[in-house]
Amino acid sequence: MLRRLRYRAGMHSGRLVGRGGATLASLARELGVSRTTVSNAYNRPDQLSPALRERVMKAAERLGYAGPDPVARSLRTRKAGAIGLLLTEQVSYAFRDPAAVAFLEGLTLECDRAGIGLLLVPASPDSDDVRSVTRAAVDGFVAYSMPEDDPFLAAMLARPVPTVISDQPATDAADLVGIDDRAAMRNMADHLISLGHKRIGVICMRLGRDQHNGVVDERRQEGAGYHVQRNRLAGLRDGFEAAGVAWDRIPVVERFDHSIAAGASAAGQVLELDPGITALVATSDVLAMGAIGELRRRHKRVPQDISVTGFDGVKAALDAGVTTVSQPVTAKGREAGRLLLDPAVRHRARQVMLPTTFVAGTSTAPHHG
Amino acid sequence: MLRRLRYRAGMHSGRLVGRGGATLASLARELGVSRTTVSNAYNRPDQLSPALRERVMKAAERLGYAGPDPVARSLRTRKAGAIGLLLTEQVSYAFRDPAAVAFLEGLTLECDRAGIGLLLVPASPDSDDVRSVTRAAVDGFVAYSMPEDDPFLAAMLARPVPTVISDQPATDAADLVGIDDRAAMRNMADHLISLGHKRIGVICMRLGRDQHNGVVDERRQEGAGYHVQRNRLAGLRDGFEAAGVAWDRIPVVERFDHSIAAGASAAGQVLELDPGITALVATSDVLAMGAIGELRRRHKRVPQDISVTGFDGVKAALDAGVTTVSQPVTAKGREAGRLLLDPAVRHRARQVMLPTTFVAGTSTAPHHG
DNA sequence: TTGTAGGCGTTATCAA
DNA sequence: TTGATAACGCCTACAA
């Protein structure tokens, strides 16, 4: 009885009157109609006489009822109306990385088309608290370029919703959209070899979740949790070994951060390991741009003294004339979206490989040794 | 009775066994424990013996129970764990506009800090179907630079959740973070006047939701639904009228699209209206960059023949040496996030104005008339 | 440490 | 055209 009284009180103070506290039920009660009717007034105006609908809307306005609660509706309909995006880094990083921005543009293009929201899921790399993933109210997920052993990724894959992975990792628990990194980089290797470069250095992005900065040995290369980087290094190795260059003599330097500054410092470290290189291969454009800046600072001319190559084909690099591999990042985003949202596509291929283009820029030149 | 039977059947086929169909309740039943216990196993591990918790998790794994349903949890806790972002354009536009990207970086910085998701709400400008806003499961909203009469904005303000508006419109239904556009542009006007410019042209961004491209009369300037643009024009007028220049003789050209191409075509139109201008003022950097391209194409030297100014201080414009007003876009995003998410801030000032900086570039020069 | 049970606000189904 | 009823799946105060 006590409980019932409290409940009643709630009805009157918290519910009918309180700010923002009106509900579909309270409105129905107030009007003396059923909840169904109120619900229909919002969701199926045609199922209801205009007069009654008008009465409902008026009362709603008067009572400060803003329409059906989205969460309650989602619970009932089993639809969130949104998909989630998961990244390795903090969400804000995505807006600093030109490739991520392009990917997001493509993805949101499809979200717009489908009228579906995109939820950027916070996932702090220095925490293992995956609740943000577990608790995201979404109908599906896209994971953008994550390491194989990421706990957030695992939490995502455990959710009973469809999932698409961009770039990495490959797993049959989810669809994949990516490129053939190994072949693309092999191409780049052949380009350098055809220019006469045999003594090179390499700088690459992070190979694992551990914060490693520095020289990479073969074991680390092969065990890398990021298969995109692993494949790019493998492609490079393919090319150089085919040309008779011993891979283990080539310095490979890793940076955990992906930034201009990281590229610069990595380039510096490579030069200290082997001052005699004639070409520097970066596994991303951002690193390449950082490297070029550092080389110039050290009075090395690019490409006359040292050739530099990148990867990705981001606008800034193309504008700067960096020799690179251009990958269709925006298309990758679109494809990921389509895989998740387009019913026609949803039941077809689960592995989409997009084509890349080799771009000969002005950052590479023949070496006459 | 019939109904009860069906219910039972559901329990066994759809629930306990079906793929992904397990619930907290079914798990509890299976284990012969209460729902509370299962809930605690996930949410309060310390409220429960390790052994029992282990049993629960094992059973969950076996039955394919992925943990508490996020939506049901949200309904119960009255927390979505996300805030929504509303834009005038399609969401994908945000990733094409450098200022929007910078704003988003700032906003997500705060989301990351708070462990809160950011939901990008789809809002097609050519539809009035605001259900995406009505149905967004969020604890708050940020609106980025919208016109006063936008229906999506209205729907957002009708929602019983806290709201922050960036730039425009100003309304006491929501907090605001912005800059003093009028004063900043007045400054720019004074700069041009001090350089000797009296005959100028103006190109501006859209002034209303109607798709207007072309000359802007005074009535349209003053009735503009975008007060940012209105204020920038007003600041310009302030300066030039103070210098004795009749505002109504200055051609003002509007573009609905905000792009390099739009800036170029607007510049062309201004030149046709008055080929004798010595300076061209753009209300954004993107338009200014488009204009500079167009002027060069027409063999006008910038700044020798015509000075050009921008607004915003986006990286590309600063790199190109455009004379502009630099506004702290990322800080604006952060501030918006803080206003919404930081409890300490939440109950203080409701109107945050950020400082701007005048940047004298190489796109303006004295005019010797 | 574990259980009971009410309520979060809605929509689907079916009947009237 | 309108209404009654039964879920949707969970959290949490309270009781044991």
Which domains can be identified in chain A, with CATH numbers?
2-64 (1.10.260.40), 82-172+330-350 (3.40.50.2300), 181-328 (3.40.50.2300)
A347 burial class (0-12, 13-18, 19+ CB within 10 angstroms)? exposed
| pLDDT score recorded for residue B349 | 62
Which portions of chain B are predicted below pLDDT 50?
Answer: 1-19
Within 8 A of A108 by CB-CB distance, chain B residues are 90-92, 94-95, 120
Q: What is the pLDDT of residues A261-302, one digit of tens each?
A: 999 999 999 999 999 999 999 999 999 999 999 999 999 999
Q: How many beta carbons lie within 10 A of that of residue B318, not counting itself?
A: 16
Report the distance separating Cα B207 and Cα A305, nearest Å: 53
Contacts B336 to A, Cβ<8 Å: none
pLDDT at B51: 87
Q: What are A99-125's pLDDT values in tens digits?
A: 999 999 999 999 999 999 999 999 988
Kindly report the pTM of this predicted structure.
0.91
Q: How many residues does chain B have?
A: 369
Give the closest residue to B63 by CA, choosing from B34, B40, B37, B29: B29
Peptide bond into A162 cis (omega under 30): no
User: Is the CB atom of residue B69 positioned under 7 angstroms from any atom of strand D?
Assistant: yes
B3 nearest nt, CA–C1': D6
Could you list the beta-strand ranges (E) of B45-186.
Answer: 82-87, 117-120, 141-144, 163-166, 175-179
Which DSSP string corresponds to A51-120? HHHHHHHHHHHHHT--SS-HHHHHHHHT--SEEEEEESS-GGGGGT-HHHHHHHHHHHHHHHHHT-EEEE
A25 touches strand C (CB under 7 A): yes
User: Exposed (0-12), middle (13-18) or buried (19+): which is B349, by Cβ within 10 Å?
Assistant: exposed
- Cα(B345)–Cα(B193) distance, rounded to whole angstroms? 41
Question: Is residue A12's pLDDT more than 70?
Answer: no
DSSP B84: E
Q: Given A64, A105, A135, which is nearest B96 (Cβ)?
A: A105
Q: Encode pLDDT of A298-339 as tens digits.
A: 999 999 999 999 999 999 999 999 999 999 999 999 999 999
Angle ∠(B84,B116,A94) on CA atoms, nearest 5: 80
| Length of chain A measured in residues | 369
Q: Strand A200-204 to strand A252-254: parallel, antiparallel, or no bridges (unpaired)?
A: parallel
Digit-coded pLDDT (tens) for A17-65: 333 578 998 889 889 898 999 999 999 988 888 888 899 999 999 998 9
As a rounded value in angstroms, the CA-to-C1' distance for A49 and D9 is 34
Nearest nucleotide by C1' from B77 CA?
A: D11
Protein-nucleic contacts, chain A 72-131 to strand D, CB < 7 Å = 72, 75-76, 78
Per the DSSP assignment, residues forming a β-bridge with A203 are A253, A282
Alpha-carbon gap: A156 to the closest alpha carbon of chain B (Å):
10
Share of chain A above pLDDT 90, in %: 80
User: Is the CB of A11 less than 7 A from some atom of nucleic acid strand C?
Assistant: no
Strand D contact nucleotides, protein CB < 7 Å: 1-13
Q: What is the pLDDT of residue A7?
A: 28
What is the sign of the dihedral through the CA atoms of A262, A268, A274 and A277? positive
CB contact under 8 A, A70 and B101: no
Instruction: Kindly report, residue by residue over B147-163, the tens digit of the pLDDT.
Output: 999 999 999 999 999 99
Q: How far is the CA of B1 from the C1' of D2 (A)?
A: 25
**CB atoms B137 and A137 under 8 Å:** yes
Q: Which of A365, A192, A353, A222 is nearest to A282 (CA)?
A: A192
Rounded CA-CA distance B272/B251 in Å is: 10
Average the pLDDT over A136-163 and give the result. Answer: 95
8 A C-beta contact, residue A367 and residue A193: no
- What b-and-e string marks burial along B359-368, b requiring 16 or more CB atoms within 10 Å of the CB? bebebbbebe
Mean pLDDT of chain A: 91
The percentage of chain A sitting over the pLDDT mark of 70, rounded to a whole number, equals 93
- CA distances from residue A3 to A10, A17, A21, A26 in whole angstroms, order as listed: 10, 20, 20, 19
Q: Are the C-beta atoms of residues A56 and A31 closer than 8 Å to each other? A: yes
User: Which ranges in chain A belong to alpha helices (H)?
Assistant: 2-10, 24-31, 35-43, 50-63, 70-77, 98-114, 131-134, 151-158, 181-194, 218-223, 227-242, 260-273, 285-297, 315-319, 329-341, 343-346
Under a CB-based contact definition with an 8 Å cutoff, are residues A193 and A239 in contact?
Answer: yes
Separation CA A311–CA A332 (nearest Å): 15
Sign of the C-alpha dihedral, residues A252, A254, A258, A259? negative
> How long is the CA A73 to C1' C4 vector, in angstroms?
27
Residue B294 CA to residue B278 CA, distance in Å, equals 15
Q: Is the CB of A37 under 7 A from strand D?
A: yes
Cβ contact, residue pair A74, B73, below 8 Å:
no
A326 contacts A318 by C-beta, under 8 angstroms:
yes
Put simply, the answer to whether A108 touches B102 (Cβ < 8 Å) is no
> Where in B161-209 does DSSP place strands (E)?
163-166, 175-179, 200-204
3-state secondary structure of B54: helix
The separation, in Å, between residue B12 CA and nucleotide D4 C1' comes to: 26
Tell if the CB–CB gap between A90 and B108 is shorter than 8 Å: yes
Phi, psi of A358 (to 5 degrees): -80, 130
State how far the Cα of A112 lies from the Cα of B31, in Å rounded to an integer: 44
Q: Are B188 and B239 in contact (CB under 8 A)?
A: yes
A37 CA, D3 C1': separation in Å? 8
Report CA-CA distances (Å) from A155 to A118, A132, A163, B127, B201. Answer: 18, 10, 12, 37, 57
Cα A345 to Cα A83, A100, A337, distances in angstroms: 17, 24, 10
* Phi, psi for A165 (deg, rounded to 5): -110, 135
Task: Tell the residue number behind the tokens 């960036």, with chain if given.
Answer: B166
Question: Which nucleotide lies at the shortest CA–C1' distance from B76?
Answer: C8
Say if the Cβ atoms of A160 and B20 lie within 8 Å. Answer: yes
What residues contact residue A301 under an 8 Å CB cut-off, 6+ apart?
Answer: none
* Mean pLDDT for chain B overall: 91
Q: Write the CB contacts of B369 (distance below 8 Å, at least 6 apart in sequence).
A: B196, B198, B278
Contact criterion met (CB below 8 Å) for A302 and A308:
yes
Q: How far is the CA of B4 from the C1' of C11 (A)?
A: 20
Cβ-defined contact of A112 to B122 (cutoff 8 Å): yes
Which residues of chain B are within 8 Å of residue A104 when distances are taken between CB atoms?
95
> Cβ atoms within 10 A of the Cβ of B301, count?
10
Taking the C-alpha atoms of residue B325 and residue B356, their distance in angstroms, rounded to an integer, is 7
In sequence order, the β-bridge partners of residue B166 are: B144, B177
Contact assignment for A160 to B19 by CB distance below 8 Å: yes
Whether B122 and A115 lie within 8 Å, measured CB to CB:
yes
Secondary structure letter of residue A194 according to DSSP: H
- CB under 8 A, 24+ apart: contacts of B153-156: B153/B86, B154/B130, B155/B130, B156/B84, B156/B86
* CA distances to A171, B60, B75 from B66, in Å: 19, 7, 18
DSSP A312: B
Given pLDDT bands bounded at 50, 70 and 90, which one contains residue A348?
low
B37 touches strand C (CB under 7 A): yes
Residue in B62, B109, B120, B319 to test binding to A, most A beta-carbons within 10 Å: B120
CA-based Rg of chain A, rounded to a whole angstrom?
Answer: 28
